[in-house]
Amino acid sequence: MIRALKLGLMLVLLLSLATGCWNLREPDELSFIMAAGLDYNEEGKLEVTSQIAVPAALSGSPEGSGGNKKSFIVVSGTGKNVMDAGQSLQAQLPRTLFYAHRQTILLGERLVRNGVGSLTDMFIRNPKSEMRSSILVVKGGTAKDLLNIEPLFDPYISTMLVREQSAVGLKPYYYRQFLSDALSQTIQPLLPAVEVIPNNRYRYVGSAILNKDDNLKLAGYLNAKESSYANWIIGRQTAVTITAHVRPGKEEVSLSAKALSKKLQFKMQDPPRITVTLTGLGIMTENNSSLNPSKTSDLKHIEQALSQETQKEVQAMVNKVQKQYKADVFGFGEYIHRDHPMHWKSLKSKWSTVFPSLRITIKVDLKCKDPGQTNSSIDSML
């Protein structure tokens, strides 16, 4: 009897402790951050913008009473660092900020020009932060403007931005990868970039190169096509559509290449020689030429023309990155580091001067797996 009483008392005591009353937090007392944006405003102060979900607008059918309510609100605050700005952000909200659902981190152009370096700490240190967020740069604008865009299909722009990357054939670039690139010995981070366009819309415009030897300052942009080639070399591109002249005149063929892969060969001379072989396999999706892809000789000609034209474009992009931006976004240094670690020891310290002088040869080998649903061009049959 006494034993049971003691046990009961103990249980009650434990129960009262185990509820974790100190940490009681109901979902309706939280404001869920879906996306965060970092900017410098006109006065050069750090401005943090958060897109916060309005759950009430999501529930029920769109025709219902909550139908014309916006699914999010955008609030911003300025401060000395991210958390300080977060304080002034919190001051505008009756619910505690909750970071665990943040899908996207956006960096405004002015901020990127000034360097991102010191701002990355909070995203990893704060135990409530999230490393699964993807990270993007807003070209020529502010993250705030982008977050204010009315999303098209999804309730939140952050979901859209992640899906946009897959839609253009890119593997989403996550914060942990960004961090890993930034902390690596020589890789310069290549972040996807979007820009705000009129009519409250946005557009994917390629990628931004950050120079981590200089506080992660913006080194330059690559356009959409260039970044798809750069990401092909890096291994983050899953699909790309290539259009090339196959004969004089307006004779063009398009290939939707998938199964992209790359091979790198190094010759450890001074400076090292690198041969990059890009291969892709795809389906012909448009043919405005007089060639008939069902004939072996014509198909070969088309494949050669596609490969050559791509080779030229990739080479031009590599030259631009190498000579103009001088930033090793491809991680060539890391490859040498991995495969020729002893040689790397002498290269490591002077890599920033070695990289622009590397002799890089690009080879492209595109294969047309399937000529599509017709043989020669419809145009030539008319």
Partner 1 sequence: MSIWLEEGVNKLVKLTRIQLFWIVATIEIVMAVWLRISPAIAQAKQDAWLSIFIGGLMGLVITFFVVHLSMLHPNESLAEFSQKLLGRWLGRLAIWPYLTAWFILAGDVLRTFADFVHLILLDSTPVWVIMLMMLALMIYMTLVGGISGIARFCEIAGPVTIAALIVSFLLNLGNIEWHYMKPFYADSGWQAIVKASYPSASFFGESLMLLVIVSYLEKPKKAMATSLLSVAVTILFVIAASVMCLLVFGPNVSAKLRFPYFMLVRTIDIFNFIQNLDIFVIFIWVFGVFAKLSFYLFLTCSEMARSTRIKDWRKLVWFSAPMIFVIAAIIPNEDSIELLQKLWRLIVIPVCAIGVPLILWIVTLVKKEPRHA
Binding site for partner 1 (CB under 8 A): 10, 13-14, 17-18, 20, 22-23, 100, 124, 127, 130-132, 176, 179-180, 183-184, 334, 337-339, 341-342, 344-345
Distance CA 210, CA 164 (A): 21
User: What is the closest distance, in whole angstroms, from the C-beta atom of residue 347 to partner 1 in the complex?
Assistant: 13
User: What is the closest distance, in whole angstroms, from the C-beta atom of residue 180 to partner 1 in the complex?
Assistant: 5
User: What is the closest distance, in whole angstroms, from the C-beta atom of residue 196 to partner 1 in the complex?
Assistant: 25
Q: Look at the block and give the residue holding tokens 């190169």.
A: 209
User: What is the closest distance, in whole angstroms, from the C-beta atom of residue 212 to partner 1 in the complex?
Assistant: 12
Distance CA 328, CA 274 (A): 13
Which of 213, 212, 218, 214 has its CA nearest to residue 193?
218
User: What is the closest distance, in whole angstroms, from the C-beta atom of residue 182 to partner 1 in the complex?
Assistant: 9
User: What is the closest distance, in whole angstroms, from the C-beta atom of residue 29 to partner 1 in the complex?
Assistant: 13
Beta bridge partners of 196: 202
CA dist list (Å): 132 to 36, 43, 231, 315, 366: 13, 31, 20, 33, 34
**HSE value, Cβ hemisphere, 13 Å, CA-based, for 29:** 4
Contact 114, 80 (CB under 8 A): no
* CB of 120 or CB of 254, closer to partner 1: 120
Which of 160, 154, 259 has its CA nearest to residue 204?
160
Distance CA 268, CA 111 (A): 39
Distance CA 50, CA 39 (A): 11
* CB of 123 or CB of 355, closer to partner 1: 123
User: What is the closest distance, in whole angstroms, from the C-beta atom of residue 199 to partner 1 in the complex?
Assistant: 28
Classified as helix, coil or strand, 171 is coil
Enumerate residues 6+ apart whose C-beta is below 8 A from 147. 35, 37, 49, 50, 51, 74, 106, 157
User: What is the closest distance, in whole angstroms, from the C-beta atom of residue 184 to partner 1 in the complex?
Assistant: 6
Contact 244, 253 (CB under 8 A): yes
Tokens representing 61 are: 């059918």
